[in-house]
Amino acid sequence: MNLDASPPPMIELEDVKRVYSVGENPLVALKGVSIEIRTGEYVAVMGPSGSGKSTMLNILGCLDRPSSGSYRLDGREVGSLDSEELSKVRRHEIGFVFQSFHLVARLTAAENVALPMVLAGIAEEERRARVAESLESVGLSQRVNHKPNELSGGECQRVAIARATVMKPRVLLADEPTGNLDSANGEQVLQLLARMNADGLTLVVVTHDPNVGRRSDHVLVLRDGDLVQRVPGPELQPDVLFETTP
């Protein structure tokens, strides 16, 4: 009988380093970061520009590989997988939400949402049903055939969230999801993400906004490629980004 009530880890980074070659000098973007994010947890990653937040998100999203160290996703080592395997992991395990939405302008909302399923070879009938379900879950059932230029910024981000979750991933990674939205639309998007997290989705949000951080279970603070702080979200201080010592 398992007496440990806490959920199993979904994401485990162990001493992850990421070094880029820029000319003759190596640029160290992550200096050996170790973190653990449990299944269903809501984690915000904060830090000043150049602190390594995006590098970490790219590694967590299997878009990039660590130079050294280990990355386990749901118990499986994924840091050393080849390109094809990483594509499959991204397709089935991970959803992405970007600051600038990254919707394909010539496709309708429904077609944008269906994109990952087309790549996964899912039959059209099932695709149609899942697109309808996803767009309904983000409150856009009436905007199915609209193209991105016919949608507001908030609606575009909700379409992007529907696309990110249509394959029913285990982890949703969001890079400044409210960065391009006004406060009302931003609030709507944050509430949507919080609801999905409450339904069991593991959520990692990169943000500069302390208000976003305070909604999370934990905030990871990065500075100069180091993890300098891990604080419960509700206890996040407004000046966290300006502190210089852990």
Partner 1 sequence: MGVTSVVVLTAAGNGTQRFVSQEFSSLGTNLLIVVPGKNETTGALPGMGGVPNDLTLGDVRALERSLRGLRLVVPQAMGNDTVANGERRRQVAIVGTTSDFQEIRQLRMTEGRFLPPGDMERGAAVAVLGAKVATELFPSENPVGRVLRIGGWRMRVTGVLAPKGRQLGLDIDDMVMVPVATGMRIFDLSSLSRVSIEMAAHTDLDSTKARVLSLLAERHDEEDVSVITPDTVVGALNEILLALTLAVAGIGAISLAVAGLGVMNLMLVSVSERTAEVGLLRAVGATRQQVQRLFLAEAILLSLCGAVSGIVVGWGIVRGFVALYPEFPASPPAWALVSVLGVALLVGAFFGVLPARRATEMDPVAALSGK
Contact 193, 225 (CB under 8 A): no
Query: CB–CB of 102/182 below 8 Å?
Result: no
Q: Alpha carbon of 226 to those of 53, 66, 140, 183, 208: distances in Å?
A: 10, 14, 40, 31, 17
Residue span binding partner 1 (CB under 8 A) among the ranges 5-13, 87-95, 128-136, 234-242: 87-95
Q: CB of 93: closest distance to partner 1 in angstroms?
A: 9
Q: What angle do CA 91, 94, 100 make, to 5 degrees?
A: 95
C-beta of 49: minimal distance to partner 1 in Å? 14
Cα separation, 219 vs 203, in Å, equals 12
Stretch that binds partner 1, among 115-123, 191-199, 214-222, 225-233 (CB under 8 A): 115-123
Give the x-and-dash track for 24-63 against partner 1 (CB under 8 A): ----------------------------------x--x-x
Q: Binding to partner 1 by residue 91, rule CB under 8 A? A: yes
Closer residue to partner 1 in complex, CB, 7/50:
50
Find the part of the chain contacting partner 1 (CB under 8 A) among 91-99, 146-154, 188-196, 218-226: 91-99
By the 8 A CB rule, do 116 and 163 touch?
Answer: yes
Phi/psi zone of residue 47: left (φ > 0), alpha (ψ -120 to 50 degrees), beta? left
Interface with partner 1 by CB under 8 A: which residues? Answer: 58, 61, 63-64, 83-84, 87-88, 90-92, 96, 98, 102, 104, 115-116, 119-120, 163, 167
